[in-house]
Amino acid sequence: MLDTLFKPKSVAIIGASTKELSIGNVITKNLLHYKYKGSIYPINPKADEVRGIKAYKTIFDVPDDVDLAHISIPSKFIPQAVEECGKKGVKFIIINSAGFKEVGPEGEALENEVVSIAKRYGVRIFGPNCQGIINSDPDIRAYCDFTFTFPDPGHISVVAQSGGVGAVIMQRFFDLGVGMRYYASNGNACDISIEEIIRYWGDDEKTRVIVLYVEGFSDPKGFMEMAYEVAAKKPILAMRGGRTEEGARAATSHTGGLAGIGLSTELIFNKTGILTFRDEEEMCQAAVAFASQPIPAGNRVGLITDTGGPAIIATDELVDLGLEIPPLSEKAKNFLKDNLYQAASVNNPIDVLATAAAPHYRAAMDALMDEEQIDSVYINFVTPPFVDTESVAREMTDVSKQKRKPIICNYMTDKAQWTVTTKILKDGGIPCYDFPEMAAKALAALTSFGKIRSREIGELKKFDDVNKSKAETIFMEAKKSKRQSLSAQEVYEVLTAYNIPAAKWKVVKSFEEAEKAAEEIGFPVVIKADSASIIHKSDVGGVATDIKDKNSVRKIMEKMQKKFETPDLNFLVQKYLAGGRDLIVGAKAEHGLGHLIMFGMGGIFVEVLKDVVFKIAPVTNIEASEMLSSIKAAELLNGIRGEKGVNKDGVIDIIQRTSQLVTDLPIIQEMDLNPIIAYEDRVFVVDVRVKI
Amino acid sequence: MLDTLFKPKSVAIIGASTKELSIGNVITKNLLHYKYKGSIYPINPKADEVRGIKAYKTIFDVPDDVDLAHISIPSKFIPQAVEECGKKGVKFIIINSAGFKEVGPEGEALENEVVSIAKRYGVRIFGPNCQGIINSDPDIRAYCDFTFTFPDPGHISVVAQSGGVGAVIMQRFFDLGVGMRYYASNGNACDISIEEIIRYWGDDEKTRVIVLYVEGFSDPKGFMEMAYEVAAKKPILAMRGGRTEEGARAATSHTGGLAGIGLSTELIFNKTGILTFRDEEEMCQAAVAFASQPIPAGNRVGLITDTGGPAIIATDELVDLGLEIPPLSEKAKNFLKDNLYQAASVNNPIDVLATAAAPHYRAAMDALMDEEQIDSVYINFVTPPFVDTESVAREMTDVSKQKRKPIICNYMTDKAQWTVTTKILKDGGIPCYDFPEMAAKALAALTSFGKIRSREIGELKKFDDVNKSKAETIFMEAKKSKRQSLSAQEVYEVLTAYNIPAAKWKVVKSFEEAEKAAEEIGFPVVIKADSASIIHKSDVGGVATDIKDKNSVRKIMEKMQKKFETPDLNFLVQKYLAGGRDLIVGAKAEHGLGHLIMFGMGGIFVEVLKDVVFKIAPVTNIEASEMLSSIKAAELLNGIRGEKGVNKDGVIDIIQRTSQLVTDLPIIQEMDLNPIIAYEDRVFVVDVRVKI
């Protein structure tokens, strides 16, 4: 429990210098400036006071209990300081100083030392190399941080791996006039993790939305567990830095050794129900809406406007973002005709006209609140100099307080002139935006979260008809003989063990066996040379397709035998399949996370269009089905223009079985079922590559 | 010349009511409030003064010349008012009143009447149904508008078809603390057009960047002519409302009858060198950079940062936007090593560290200004409480004044605390942004404009080997006989006339002719039934492919003759082409603009992936080449994985010839060359559909 960290009754500052620009001094100043409700104990062996507060020579001289201690002295002195805090009975320590894991092995050793000392005393460490925490609660007002933005109380809590990013996000909320609840930036996170912080906020009633910035995870699975739990309770909006190769390089060169794990961060967000952003401004502006508005039940927006152009832009943007702007019912239209100006437009968008007064807005809002096929309300409100805008604002906040459907406002005004109207909207919790685009984006974020929250996760099918131990044995054998791949025989036995349908196959050594196999399988067949020494079979003439008779079988085998003179040479005889669609299912191990499962269409779709999708294993039936529908060429799977579609259930089955296989056998590093030939009625794997 | 409109020496307000919230009264107030340097003449038959200014009963009573008159009286009285203005010798009239074209045919007639009266007197009309103009020049200070934002002088000029959007953009610049030069919103634009306004600003020295919002064009060609001219002189940043179907519907329902022309607006912007935006905020923020910074020579960015996370985000965003972050030269690195803190990072991004002072920033900026492989400079500047940020800011403005390379700053601070630093940056013309993403976007916009400005337009090849009159005759014949399409004979003759290569063909009537034609063409052939009454040939069994001998020719023709018993039945015998890639080239007439030319790959690329690109005819060789390289599957045209590429020159030739054909013959409404079969060495059209 982090209660004492975020609600400390007393804070000591070890390293509270009298130098005005030192970190310890700035923290002392910030606590005073923010009107911290607890006791402040600067620790300074030389000074009697810091910023007018009585200082103590050592932590032991503090007459009272210390809940939280800041340490901002040089890193080499910190183990001793932590030891002393332990002895004093301090409960939490924020180590602001740098010089730990982020500077290399020596720093890492120092960090480990600090952690082990802290453990001995049961003290929890926040940091090192970090900013700290802020609690805006009027009863606490803990500004345990050296930054410079002093948030008003509110309902948004922010946690950032990068203090720089966290501080700027905090500043943005401040500039927007929006309050915050908690702030935390824990730097190297040697003990208290972001997971622990978010979990704590998950139970905090006053935190309505959590904003998160990360550059990677040290414990992806732990993060996911927490995220499932908290995202079910309240919205988490998140962004990750380092999503491009260049950005990731910049990230690993500056953070305390947290490996960026590329693509999977966004997959983790998606799987656990966290809303992902790629832009801080959009994330902040969305958070403002989450802090005061309910989540819409669907994506159908009703618009109210008092000006033309911005309604057009709002419409463009909402539609682009996948929202719908349905026509209104006759009932609503009649109600509007009776209650708006005659020249008003009673379509959706409802144009109340620039001269509209409070009753007109109220009628439009009431109509949309009552309208069954509307889930949320977007308002363009430009303040004409000839309208009583204050009463319009009061109607908006009044309707918003009903909390029936979210209201978002593109509020177009000079706030320095329309001060009262602006205050009414702000106090009434109407999220106000400068432009229609951002208002639309915020509404789209609310809508996305509603969709995530109500989505079906699907079933994690556990196939009973698999032979795990058989597959396991095959991989163990390969490992024992230090191979990184499997023979054809082994690969197809693994598929058989997991009931993944493959084109009929047999591995043979001699002509006679091959002929017999081909007859059993049925012509035409494919013959593939199989040996540990043959890597890219098809590039070196190790694959022959569409073989129609025994004679050709013999000819081809002779040719291959001549070409590949290797003692372990075998031949895979396999049914040749013509037509159908080429698909790919793949799996790739991700450090600390398990496996990613990939699906896509073969050929140019993978090579040229990179039209593939990923999910984190284990994959449910609904996730597998989503994979099929979310590739760009998804329509082709349904069949189009006379071409037949594919057996989707068969493909979904293969995805789920592959997911189970790699989850059962973490030894698998990479696995590609490529191609899978899919017909309208059946699906077959015809080639496999495995790396262990 | 609009000089007198934007720099009036005197303004009369016809309809200057004493009612505080009337438009005429607000305009009078605005002129006073903005400290207009000319004379103000309220015209009011009943009052002696308006807002403390002497009023005149009629315009004739004004003792002086009147440069500009506002009219805000009811529309039915306006023809007379215009007549009186004419007699008085007024030079420009801004009609603020609504009730014209936007309300229907009656209003349109009134508008036409007003225009013809004005023409008689040589008076120019701005509006009606509009806001007006603003000139922030300290010597003029003309606020001839009823809006509420009072811009400081600056270098950005804004023109908006929608007053609502224009006003909000103006407000945004005001909130950003950025000055403006001119503002104009001309509503129905019955006389003075947006084209004329932009052309005037093109020659205005103090306008460094023009911001444009439109919802459609009444004269696309006129707009293009102006845009070519002005965009060559200074940047035009533009956005169009109504780009989605829903948005376009909203646009046409509210504007004064300007038809939205869909996709072509962005094509017009692109062709004429206007920078297109889809977000007002991004457009405004980019304009801020254009107003003070030079255009970079290329896309290579050098980053300076004093904080980690925001540098990662900046890197992500810059890379996403197509910019490069090259490594620094050894020379630069050594220079930085000598001049930065030891722990600083001398890579790109250059991390000067949070404690960096002015000389460190200066060294980093100097290094990047001198670095040949760097075209622009991005700075992350968070203001640490322990740094003299004012001297850092002074170094930035000092380097910026050199105007060697653009500098963009992500300035992360509390502006209410760092007031002096903020003012130094603002006065020094450093574009400052709240988040790295927006700073990166602004820099990307500068870079895009640099690319546009230096791009090769290419040659408009005029093919001499075409027989225009032959093709023209064919179309005229078809038109005369009221047909909407051409016969196979006619279509292929048109191709021949324009030297567009088609698969060998012959149109025949009898078996004998067909056999002869097939032999001449060479087997295998295709046979297509051709008659005005057969629309979708292949759907109704009117196409047979891969016919290998005479016998089959006869059989197929018999079958088709039986099926299509129509007197005008002919048969197209054509070479059957196997393999190759299917491509499409198309043309479509756009009202007032000429034709759009389309290129794409056939089959699923068009059907499923909508992978097509458009340009406005006439298309140059470079534009045609861009079309080939800008489809998503462009790689396939080069050849990939053993598959052969296509003869690009041949395709480019067909695109240009098609462009010339439709430009020569505007009668063509739609034309599809589909498919075109492209091989490595040659290209053939094998089917054509024309609509006239």
Mutate to test the interface with B, among A22, A168, A345 (most CBs of B within 10 A): A168
SS3 sequence, A17-85? CCCCCCHHHHHHHHHHHCCCCCEEEEECCCCCEECCEECECCHHHCCCCCCEEEECCCHHHHHHHHHHH
pLDDT (mean) for A389-399 = 98
Q: Closest Cα of chain A to B635: distance in Å? A: 6
- Give one DSSP letter per residue of B264-292, joined into a string: HHHHHHHHHTPEEES-HHHHHHHHHHHHH
Where is average pLDDT lowest: A71-85, A255-269, A652-666? Answer: A255-269
Estimate the share of chain A in helix, then strand, then coil, as percent rounded to the nearest 5: 40, 20, 40
CA distance B348 to B66: 60
pLDDT score for A459: 85
Q: Find the angle CA(A492)-CA(A497)-CA(A502) to the nearest 5 degrees.
A: 40
User: Residue A144: is it exposed, middle or buried by C-beta count within 10 angstroms (0-12/13-18/19+)?
Assistant: buried
What's the CA gap between B187 and B183, in Å, rounded? 13
**Do B392 and B332 form a contact (C-beta atoms < 8 A)?**
no
A17 close to B (CB below 8 A): no
- Average pLDDT of chain A to the nearest whole number: 93
User: Closest approach of chain B CAs to the CA of A23, in angstroms?
Assistant: 9
pLDDT band at A262 (very low <50, low <70, confident <90, very high): low
Say how far apart CA B380 and CA B430 lie, in whole Å: 12
The percent helix, strand, coil of chain B (3-state, each to 5) is 40, 20, 40
Return all residues near B102 (Cβ < 8 A) that are at least 6 apart: B129, B188, B254, B255, B256, B257
Interface A–B counts its CB contacts (< 8 A) at 221
The larger pLDDT score, comparing residue A622 to residue A249, is at A622
Least confident of A110-114, A168-172, A386-390, A659-663: A386-390
| Neighbouring-strand partners of residue B49 | B54
Q: What are phi and psi of A654, to 5 degrees?
A: -65, -40
**CATH class given for the domain over B504-576:** alpha beta
Residue B480: HSE in the Cβ half-sphere, 13 Å Cα cutoff: 6
Among candidates A148, A320, A636 on the partner chain, residue whose Cβ is nearest the Cβ of B608: A636
Which parts of chain B register pLDDT below 50?
A: 254-261
Please state, in angstroms and as integers, the Cα–Cα distance from residue B604 to each residue in A625, A639, A640, A641, following that order. Answer: 22, 11, 9, 9
Quick: pLDDT tens for A276-294. Answer: 999 999 999 999 999 999 9
Inter-residue contact B223 to B268 (CB < 8 Å) = yes
Residues in chain B within 8 Å Cβ distance of A436: 280
Beta-carbon count within 10 A of B80 CB: 11
Distant-in-sequence, close-in-space partners of B338: CB < 8 Å, separation ≥ 6: none
Cβ-Cβ contacts under 8 Å, B605 against chain A: none
Using the predicted structure, report yes or no on whether residue A250 has a pLDDT greater than 80.
Answer: no
* pLDDT value at residue B99: 93
At the topology level, CATH places domain B147-292 in Rossmann fold (3.40.50)
CA pair distance B603, A605, nearest whole angstrom: 14
Report d(CA B410, CA B317) in Å as an integer. 13
Q: Measuring CA to CA, how many Å separate A198 from each of A192, A193, A306? A: 11, 9, 41
B280·A313 Cβ contact <8 A: yes
Q: What is the CATH number of domain A581-691?
A: 3.30.470.20
* More confident site: A255 or A541: A541
CB atoms within 10 A of CB B33: 14
Q: State whether B633 and A608 contact (CB < 8 Å).
A: yes
What is the CA A666 to chain-centroid distance, rounded? 24
List chain A residues with CB under 8 Å of B167. 382, 412
In chain B, which among 329-348 make CB contacts under 8 A with chain A? 345, 347
Helix (H, G, I), strand (E, B) or coil at A233: coil
Cα separation, B289 vs B394, in Å, equals 18
CB environment A333-363: b (16+ within 10 A), e (fewer): bebbeebbeeebbbbbbbbbbbebbbebbbb
Give dist(CA B165, CA A435) in Å, integer: 9
The rounded distance, in Å, linking the Cα atoms of A509 and A569 is 7
* Between A21 and A523, residue with greater pLDDT: A523
Read off the amino acid at residue B382: V
CA-based nearest residue to A498, from A690, A678, A628:
A690
Query: How confident is the model at residue A532, as a pLDDT?
Result: 83
User: Mean pLDDT over residues A102-109, rounded?
Assistant: 92
pLDDT tens-digit map of A414-454: 999 999 999 999 999 999 999 999 999 999 999 999 999 99
Q: What angle do CA B355, B358, B359 make, to 5 degrees?
A: 100
Query: Which residue reads 């002195």 in tokens?
Result: A77
Of B166, B385, B635, the CB nearest to A608: B635
Chain B contact present for A428, CB below 8 A = no
Residues 121-150 of A with CB under 8 A from B: 146, 148-149
Contact (CB<8Å) B255/A308: yes
Residue A7 per-residue DSSP state: S
* Domain A294-454 bears CATH identifier 3.40.718.10: no
| Pick from A315, A386, A436: CB nearest B246 | A315
Token digits of residue B141 = 């200070």
Cβ-Cβ contacts under 8 Å, A633 against chain B: 604, 608-609
Phi, psi of B592 (to 5 degrees): 80, 0
In the three-class reduction of DSSP (H, G, I as helix; E, B as strand; rest coil), residue A311 is classed as: helix
Of B165, B315, B636, nearest to A244 by CB-CB distance is B315
* pLDDT reading at A254 higher than 60: no
Query: Taking CB atoms and an 8 Å limit, are A165 and B309 in contact across chains?
Result: yes
Produce one character per residue of B314-334: b if its CB has 16 or more CB atoms within 10 Å, e if not. bbbbbbbbebbbeebeeebbe
Residue A311's pLDDT band, with cuts at 50, 70 and 90, is: very high
CB contact under 8 A, A608 and B148: no
pLDDT value of position A661: 97
Tell me whether the omega of the peptide bond preceding residue A349 falls within 30 degrees of 0, making it cis: yes
How high is the pLDDT of residue B256? Answer: 37
Q: Look at residues B236, B192, B185 and name the one whose alpha carbon lies nearest to residue B215.
A: B185
| Contact between B275 and B230 (Cβ < 8 Å) | no
Which residue in B25, B185, B258, B313 has the most chain A C-beta atoms within 10 A of its own C-beta, making it the best mutation to test that interface? B313
Q: What's the Cα-to-Cα distance from A236 to each of A182, A206, A208, A273, rounded to whole Å? A: 14, 14, 9, 8
In chain A, residues with a C-beta closer than 8 Å to the C-beta of B313 are 165, 241, 247, 280
Comparing A156 with B249, the larger pLDDT belongs to A156
Residues of chain B contacting residue A281, judged by C-beta atoms under 8 Å apart? 434-435, 437-438
Mean pLDDT of the region A349-369: 96
In this structure, what DSSP letter does residue B640 have?
B
Residue-wise pLDDT for A539-556, tens only, equals 788 899 999 999 999 999
CATH architecture of A1-131: 3-Layer(aba) Sandwich (3.40)
| Residues A383 and A354: beta-carbon distance below 8 Å | no
User: How far is the first Cα of chain A from the last one, in angstroms, to the nearest whole number?
Assistant: 41
Give the one of A250, A278, A307 whose C-beta lies nearest to B164's C-beta. A307
- Checking if the pLDDT of A622 tops 70, the result is yes
Same topology, domains A147-292 and A294-454? Answer is yes
**DSSP label at B77?**
G
Asked if B319's CB is within 8 angstroms of A245's CB, the reply is yes
CATH class of B1-137: alpha beta
**Chain A interface mutation, best of B316, B411, B611, highest count of A Cβ atoms under 10 Å:** B316
Number of C-beta neighbours around residue A263 at 10 A: 12
Report how far Cα B281 is from the mean position of its chain's Cα atoms: 17
d(CA B233, CA B419): 36
Tens digits of residue pLDDT in B677-689: 999 999 999 999 9
Bridge partners (DSSP) listed for residue A529: A571
ipTM above 0.85, yes or no: yes
Name the pairing type of β-strands A376-382 and A407-412: parallel
Given a contact cutoff of 8 angstroms between Cβ atoms, the answer to whether B50 and B16 are in contact is yes
**DSSP letter for each residue of A84-111:** HHHHHT--EEEE----SGGG-HHHHHHH
CB A35 within 8 A of CB A19: no
Block residue for tokens 């005709």: A337
- Count of Cβ atoms closer than 10 Å to residue B19 Cβ: 12
> Rg (Cα) of chain B, in Å, rounded?
32
pTM listed for this prediction: 0.93
Question: Looking at CA atoms only, how far is residue B511 from chain A in angstroms?
Answer: 31
Cβ within 8 Å, pair A279-B437:
yes
Ranges of each domain in chain B: 1-137, 147-292, 294-454, 504-576, 581-691
Q: Are A444 and A414 in contact (CB under 8 A)?
A: no
Q: Which two three-digit tokens encode residue B89?
A: 């010798």
- Find the closest chain A residue to B30 by CA distance: A385
Q: How far apart are CA A540 and CA A561, in angstroms?
A: 13
Give pLDDT, residue B252.
58
**Residue A656 touches chain B, beta carbons under 8 Å:** no
Q: To which H or E segment does residue B673 belong? A: strand B670-678
Which residues of chain A are within 8 Å of residue B635 when distances are taken between CB atoms? 607-608
CA distance linking residue B392 with residue B305, whole number of Å: 13
Specify whether the CB–CB gap between A88 and A60 falls below 8 A.
yes
Tokens of B343: 């722990």
